[in-house]
Amino acid sequence: MSGLWTGPTLFIDIHTHIDQYEPDELPGIIQRAREADVGAIIAAGVTVESSRRCLQLANEFDQVFAGVGVHPSDLAGELDSAALDELRAMAMKDRVIVMSEVGLDHQDHSPDRALQERAFRSQIRIAHDAGLPVVFHMRFATADMLRVLREERVSDLGGAAHYFQGNYDEAAAVIDLGCYISLAKPLLRLPELQDVARRLPLDTIVLETDCYPQPFKGKREKWTEPRDVPIVAAKLAEIKGIEVAEVMEATTSNTLAMLGQGAVQVSALI
Mean pLDDT of 247-264: 97
Return the DSSP state at 138: E
Minimal CA–CA distance to 82: which of 122, 40, 38, 116?
122
Give the CB-side neighbour count of residue 188, counting CA atoms within 13 A: 12
Per-residue pLDDT at 268 exceeds 60: yes
What is the per-residue pLDDT for 245?
Answer: 95
The 10s digit of each residue's pLDDT in 210-241 is: 999 999 998 999 999 999 999 999 999 999 99
Query: Please, what is the average pLDDT of the chain?
Result: 95
Rounded to the nearest 5°, which phi and psi values hold at 75? -70, 120
Going by pLDDT thresholds of 50, 70 and 90, the confidence category of residue 110 is confident
Q: Euclidean distance between the first and final Cα of the chain, in Å?
A: 18
Domains defined along the chain, listed by start: 11-267 (3.20.20.140)
Per-residue pLDDT at 1 exceeds 70: no
pTM of the model as a whole: 0.95
Mean pLDDT of 87-113: 94
* Rounded distance between C-alpha atoms, residue 164 and residue 183, angstroms: 6
* Rounded distance between C-alpha atoms, residue 128 and residue 149, angstroms: 12
* Rounded distance between C-alpha atoms, residue 218 and residue 85, angstroms: 40
What is the per-residue pLDDT for 159?
Answer: 98
